Structure 1
Amino acid sequence: MILYFTLGVLFAILLPIRGHHCGKLRESHLYNRNEITAPDEYTWIGRVGYIYENRTEFKCFSVLIHQRYAVLNAHCIRGGTAALILFGDWRENEDITVGDCLVEGMTAQCSPRPQMVDIEELVVHPKYDGQYDYNIGLAKLEKNVELSDFVQPICLPPAGESEGNHIAQRLEMAGFRRPLREGDPVDKDGEWRRKVQVHTTSMDFCRSLGKNGWPNLTQNYLCALGKEEKTLYFGSPLMGIEVVDGKPRNFYLVGLPATIQLLGHPSYLSLHLFTSILPFRNWILKNMDLD
Structure 2
Amino acid sequence: MVSSSRTLALTAATAVLVGTAGCAPQDEDPAPAPSATAASCTKEGLRTRTAGKLTVATDEPAYEPWFRENKPESGEGFEAAVAYAVAEKLGYARADVVWTRVKFDTAIAPGPKSFDFDINQFSITEERKRAVDFSAPYYLVRQTVIALKSSKIAGRKSLADLRDAKLGAQVGTTSYQAITDVIKPTAKPQVYNSNDDAKKALQNGQLDGLVVDLPTAFYITGAELTDATIVGQLPQVGAPEAFGLLLDKDSPLTSCVGGAVGQLAEAGTLKTLEQKWLAQVAGATELQ
**What is the TM-score when the length of structure 1 is the normalising length?**
0.26
Q: Which has the higher helix share?
A: 2
Q: Which has the higher strand share?
A: 1
